[in-house]
Each structure stands twice: as structure tokens, then as C-alpha cells.
Copies of this chain bind each other. A is one copy, B any other.
Amino acid sequence: MTGREKPVGIRLNERQLSDLELLRVGGYVPLDGFMTRSDYRSVVTEMHLASGKPWAMPITLAVDSELASAISEGDLVALLDGASGRTVGQLQIHEKFSYDKGHEARQVYRTTDHKHPGVAALYAQGDTLLGGPVTHEDPVALQDFTAFRRTPAELKGEFAQREWRTVVGFQTRNPVHRAHEYIQKAALEIVDGLLLHPLVGETKDDDVPADVRMRCYRVLLDNYFPRDRTMLAVLPAAMRYAGPREAIFHAQVRRNYGCTHFIVGRDHAGVGDYYGPYDAQHIFSEFDAGELGITPLFFEHAFWCNTCGGMATTKTCPHDASVRVFLSGTKVRELLRTNASLPAEFTRPEVACELMAAYQKS
């Protein structure tokens, strides 16, 4: 990219840095930068880029009016790490445009409620979007979890080396309890390998912190999964909590990381009661077969059933709720706070131990 660099720079927040990092590594293919007007509008309304390719989440760079007025279309602008001020990339400004936050909220989040964390972030951001291709320093952001960072190219290489022709990706921003393990293993039974791919970008304050989760994932994999069938790597994305739209987004990003299958469970990427429990599965039917380049695997609510004597879902267990062991997130946090043990039917003891240690410290 050539062009005159303006002295002005854009300080990126954590979420924007995540997007730049994903653009850098190829996690957002076919995107090569922040969306211009036609892509943005088409994605918000149609879940497709202007080119017709599917894409469900706006990837935008919003700035406030003051900064916007100092930038013109055609400028080459530095992108700065908001915390350190370090230059992490450049944006070639192709377009500077206003947008309708209410419209985006309704279309993408299905609500304009400011209590929704994704909507709140949308309303809090600047009123002008800057669109155009980016270049980037390497690396973009602080590299935490370095041992588990893998670019799409690196992961694809490792899958090939392991001779995994089919790989199922599992997105999570939570500790992996037995319900998730069950779903992961049910999926693994029909593919060659499992990529446990936790999101470690920005999440809600009351989500379990990524470092605690990473310890949980490691003890779980070490004790309950065959090494030659599982990989753990981190996804440097921020959560949007956009439910159905984000399920499509998560699937396509995992396709870029080399997955052939993607698990979509109950209330994927949801928050509160904004989405029906299976809306994030139904939305896949709005795309043509093969269009997304990855096969979604849908799972219902999973639990331990005392009568089955094993894990199951509402699809495979005929027994009633009274014999099923399942705890809400609220109940889990309450047990952890009061130092009560989590039942082994719900959480592996090794994982419970890590969670309890983290809760006792905090």
C-alpha cells in the first residue's frame, strides 16, 4: 500500500485490535480490511457481501466525529494499539460514511435493547465508519496464550500432518463442562479430529476469564481426550453475543481455520433471553447447501441422565427432567462461591478444581 500517511492515527480498542489481528492472520477471508459502505449494508441486510459471498457480521471501524473530520477518503491512516500507542497497522481510507445504528442493532442483534452487550457496544462506538483495506505489523496485539496461538495456515498445516481430512471446530467462551465434552465427543466420533478453539478476545465482565478457562481446557484434554484426536488453539476474536448471526460468523471463521465441521449447540453465542434456544441453528437454513463451506453439526441441550446412566441430550434421552443432572450458570457460580463441589456428572473434578481455585482467589 502506498499513499501519503496522515500524522493522525486511530487508537484501536480491544475489539478493534481483535478484528485487525483476525484480518492479519486470514481468519476473516475473504475480507481484506474494514467494510466499505456496500459490503456493510449488504451484510447487515442480506448476510452477504456485495460480491454475493456469505458473511453475517459487520466488521467495521467506527470513529467519533472529531476524528472523522480529520480524515479524508484516500488517506492512509496509522492504526495504533489504544493502550500502548504503538503502531499496529495502516488503513487505506476508501470510504468514510455514516450508518444507522438502530438498523444494524435490529438486523444483526434482533434487538435495540441497550442491556444487550453487543448492542451496548454498537451504541457506544463512533458515528462514522471508515472502510478500506488494512496492512498490519506482525504481531498486531499483545500475544497472550502464545503457546496456543495458531494462524489458519498453521492449523491447516497441523491438520494435514495429522492426516485429519475432517475436523470439527468447537467455539466456546465458557469452561467446558461434561455437557460440552459429550457434544464434542459425539461430533468427534464421526470426524477425524476435534479443534477446541476457545475465543480469548473481549468478553462480558461476568464471563469466566480466559486464563482460568485455558487451565480448565488443558486439564480436561490431558485427562479425558486422546491426544492424537484433539487440538487446543485460541481464537483472538471478541464476543458480540449476536446469537444466530454470530453462529454463522463463528462457523465461517472456523472454516478459514481449516475446520470442515462446526458444532452449534443450544443458544450459541446468546445472552439473556434475546434468542430462542435453537435460533442459532435455524439460521443456517437461510444459506444454500455448501454456501458456507463448512458443515454445521447441531446439538440439543445435553446433560447427565441417571436413568440412562450416561450423558445424553433431549434428542437421545426419553426420561424426564427429575432424573437429569444439569446446573444453570447461576447455580454453578453459587456453588463455586460457597466452595461447594460441583457434581462429577456435571463437571470433571479436575476442571472443578481449577474453577474453584480461581473463585477462591478472586
Binding site for B on A (CB under 8 A): 182-183, 185-190, 223-227, 229, 297-300, 308-318, 344-345
Contacts and interface: CB of A to CB of B under 8 A. Distances in A.
B190 A226 contact: no
Contacts of A317: 224, 226
A318 B225 contact: yes
A182 B312 CA distance: 10
B298 A190 contact: yes
Given A190-B190, A308-B224, A311-B310, A185 B316 contact: yes
B190 A318 contact: no
A316 B227 contact: no
Contacts of A224: 308, 317-318
Contact of A190 (B187, B309, B310): B187
A300 B185 CA distance: 13
Contacts of A182: 310
Contacts of A344: 309
Residue among A185, A223, A297, A300 with the highest chain B CB neighbour number at 10 A? A185
Contacts of A300: 189
B226 A188 contact: no
A188 B189 CA distance: 12
B313 A310 contact: no
A310 B189 CA distance: 14
Number of copies: 2
Residue among A227, A314, A318 with the highest chain B CB neighbour number at 10 A? A318
Contacts of A187: 189-190
B190 A229 contact: no
A316 B190 contact: no
A188 B344 CA distance: 25
Contacts of A315: 188-189, 226, 229
B227 A318 contact: yes
A226 B310 contact: no
Contacts of A189: 183, 186-187, 299-300, 313, 315-316
Given A185-B316, A310-B311, A312-B185, A190 B297 contact: yes
Nearest to A318: B226
Given A226-B315, A226-B318, A315-B226, A190 B185 contact: no
B310 A188 contact: no
Residue among A189, A300, A313, A317 with the highest chain B CB neighbour number at 10 A? A189
A35 B138 CA distance: 66
Contacts of A316: 185, 188-189, 225-226, 229
A312 to B, nearest CB: 7
Nearest to A302: B189
Nearest to A229: B315
Contacts of A299: 189-190
Contacts of A183: 189
16 contacts: A183-B189, A186-B186, A186-B189, A186-B190, A187-B190, A189-B299, A189-B316, A190-B298, A223-B318, A224-B308, A225-B318, A226-B315, A226-B316, A227-B318, A309-B345, A310-B311
